[in-house]
Amino acid sequence: MKKITFAWALLCALWGLPGHAQWPYDVPFVPSPQIVVDEMLRLAEVTKDDFVIDLGSGDGRILITAAQKFGARGIGVDLDESLIEQSVANAQAAGVMDQVQFIRQDLFKTDLSKASVITLYLLPGVNMRLRPALLALKPGTRIVAHDFELGDWKPDVKVTIRKNAMLWIVPANVAGRWRISVDFPEGERVFDVEIRQQYQEIDGVVRITDAIPGGLWQTSLRGDKVRFSIVDNAVRELEATMYFDGVVREGVMEGELRRGVGVTQTRHRWRAIRIPK
């Protein structure tokens, strides 16, 4: 069950009750505790090279911390005018106005393409409305959220220190059929793999020989970095595992593979291209 704090529950209850002042936007203002802000940014491994976008930036604390403690730049968007004014005052007091900008803007109308990190403390339904835009971002973009998840897109990492902080890394699209070629000293070898993908989780089948197909083992997809292992069963007496590491870019995957273990291990370049449907 989702962990909802007392403050959230109270605010959301008040929000729906007649006779109470209603927050006019999609999510009420509840600031993330500083410990949670720190944890979100630590989880996303924010550096000075990052551009952070905080969607629903409240009093600006996430972006100001990203600038102050991690040297990042970025923008915060919120629809509440007084929160934008407060954020600017807070950023001035923190001495980070040259790194951050706060804009009165609907988060659903915000251009996210510049972000290397996106931070969220919204509500489950709002996260779900945002999800298609998040999944369409450049592979490798990191998304960190306080408390609420992204439906069946499971986080890559979840940490609980007082509250939940979760990290998702936008996965490259690798689903489909690929033709892998490997430069072995004895000559090039070619085999086909079929990859199935559910967000960052992948598995698949490979045909090394015309006999029984094999599996893709120990798979992982982190942004555009792909990893899997295949048992090379071309010659029964010489079976060995091939450990593939690669990068995915526009219809091509390529990298290095290690074949075998210990002193028998050899290293080779590999490249795969998509097989059109």
Ligand X SMILES: C[S@@+](CC[C@H](N)C(=O)[O-])C[C@H]1O[C@@H](n2cnc3c(N)ncnc32)[C@H](O)[C@@H]1O
74 lines the binding site for ligand X (CB under 6 A): no
Nearer to ligand X among residue 60 and residue 171 (C-beta): 60
25 lines the binding site for ligand X (CB under 6 A): yes
Report the nearest approach of ligand X to the CB of residue 50 (Å). Answer: 17
Nearer to ligand X among residue 64 and residue 208 (C-beta): 64
**Which residue, judged by CB position, is nearest to ligand X in the bound state?**
56
* CA torsion through residues 4, 122, 127, 67, sign: negative
Report the nearest approach of ligand X to the CB of residue 227 (Å). Answer: 33
CA–CA–CA angle 171, 76, 56 (5° rounding)? 80
62 lines the binding site for ligand X (CB under 6 A): yes
Report the nearest approach of ligand X to the CB of residue 223 (Å). Answer: 24
Nearer to ligand X among residue 83 and residue 193 (C-beta): 83
Nearer to ligand X among residue 165 and residue 195 (C-beta): 165
Among 135, 175, 173, residue whose Cα is nearest residue 151: 135
Q: Which of 67, 72, 96, 107 binds ligand X (CB under 6 A)?
A: 107
58 lines the binding site for ligand X (CB under 6 A): yes
Beta strand ranges found along 56-186 (DSSP E)? 73-78, 100-104, 117-120, 142-146, 157-161, 163-169, 176-184
* CA torsion through residues 214, 217, 221, 224, sign: negative
| Residue in the structure block whose two tokens are 């086909």 | 192
